[in-house]
Structure 1
Amino acid sequence: MTLYLTPQELLARVHIGKPVEQWLSYVREADYTVIKWIVIDHEENQFSLTYLESFDEGDEEFYDVHEFSVTDPEDEPYGTTHLFDSVEAAVTFAIENYGASADKFVAFAMIEKEYQKYLLERPRF
Structure 2
Amino acid sequence: MGRYLDRNEANTCLNLGKTIEVFLGRIMEDKEVISYLALMKTKDGRVEMQLIDHYDEGNLEYTDIYDFSYVDPDMGFETINFENLEQCTDFIRKRFHLDEIGFVNSGLCQEEYADLIKEEGRT
On the 8 A contact 1:34/1:54 being kept in 2, the answer is yes
On the 8 A contact 1:24/1:100 being kept in 2, the answer is no
Asked if residue 115 in structure 1 is aligned to residue 86 in structure 2, the reply is no
TM-aligned CA deviation for residue 17 of structure 1: 1.0
Q: 1:93 to 1:37 in 2, by over 3 A?
A: same
Letter in 2 for 1:74: D
TM-score, normalised via structure 2 length: 0.84
On the 8 A contact 2:25/2:113 being kept in 1, the answer is no
Asked if residue 81 in structure 1 is aligned to residue 79 in structure 2, the reply is yes
TM-score, normalised via structure 1 length: 0.82
Structure 2 partner of 1:67: 67
CA distance in 2, matches of 1:28, 1:83: 25
Letter in 1 for 2:83: D
Q: Note the alpha carbon deviations across 1:66-119, whole angstroms, 9 max, x for none.
A: 12112123333xx21101121211121111112345441111111111011111
Structure 2 partner of 1:13: 13
Count of paired positions: 119
CA distance in 1, matches of 2:75, 2:17: 23
Asked if residue 97 in structure 1 is aligned to residue 95 in structure 2, the reply is yes
Query: Which consecutive unaligned segments of at least 5 residues does structure 1 have?
Result: none
Counterpart of 1:75 in 2: which secondary structure?
A: coil
State the identity %.
24
Q: CA RMSD in A?
A: 2.0
On the 8 A contact 1:21/1:105 being kept in 2, the answer is yes
Counterpart of 2:10 in 1: which secondary structure?
A: helix
On the 8 A contact 1:22/1:100 being kept in 2, the answer is no
